[in-house]
């Protein structure tokens, strides 16, 4: 796993690109690499510690498990655009995509005690915006500055 760090045109702008193998054992290391290289001062340390790390772990786990189905020949790409007004994290897998509107509410009485199914719900609550591409194999998470 390697990370490419590029400086943007404006001072402080940074673009990170990370290729993560389709193995859940790499999630923690990938999250720490992104957190380490994300410029300080855009998000509060608390939001980097909790919101950024949690949603990236969620998105990576979804991409590896459901997108790439843990196929070792496939990778997940993580692209981070860090600017003064916020951070956008795009996680793209090599899968067929899915319909995010088909995910049931994990807080409903009939699903509350399920072991899985909370990932997207957690993501939606911890970021300012969630956008999927048309195919459903890339999710863009926006955390506004602050």
Partner 1 sequence: MTFSLKKDAKGVVVVGVDGQLIVGNRQELKQKVLESLDGGSRKFVIDFSTTGYIDSSGLGVLVSLSKKIREQGGDLRLAGLNEDLQTLFELTKLDTLFTIAKTPAEALAAF
Residues forming contacts to partner 1 in the complex (CB under 8 A) are 24-28, 31, 46, 49-51, 53-54, 57-58, 61, 65, 106-107, 112-119, 121-122, 125
Beta-carbon contacts of residue 102 (< 8 Å; ≥ 6 apart): none
Considering the complex, state which of residue 8 and residue 105 has its C-beta at the smaller distance from partner 1.
105
Name beta bridge partners: 77. 19, 92
Considering the complex, state which of residue 3 and residue 122 has its C-beta at the smaller distance from partner 1.
122
Minimum distance of partner 1 from residue 127's CB (angstroms) = 13
Distance of CA 67 to the CA centre of its chain: 13
Minimum distance of partner 1 from residue 17's CB (angstroms) = 21
Crossing angle (nearest 10°) for helices 53-62 and 27-37 = 140
């Amino acid at each position: 796993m390697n990370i490419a760090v590029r400086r943007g045109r404006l001072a402080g702008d940074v673009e990170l690109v990370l290729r993560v193998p389709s193995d859940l054992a790499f999630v923690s290391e990938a999250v720490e690499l992104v957190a380490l290289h994300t410029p300080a001062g855009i998000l509060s340390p608390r939001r980097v510690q909790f919101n950024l790390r949690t949603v990236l772990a969620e998105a990576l786990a979804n991409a590896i498990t459901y997108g790439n189905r843990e196929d070792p020949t496939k990778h997940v790409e993580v692209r981070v655009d860090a600017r003064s007004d916020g951070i956008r994290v795009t996680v793209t897998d090599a899968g067929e995509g899915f319909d995010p509107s088909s995910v049931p509410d994990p807080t409903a009485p009939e699903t509350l005690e399920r072991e899985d199914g909370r990932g997207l719900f957690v993501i939606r609550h911890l970021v300012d915006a969630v956008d999927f591409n048309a195919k459903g194999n890339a999710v863009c998470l926006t955390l506004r500055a602050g």
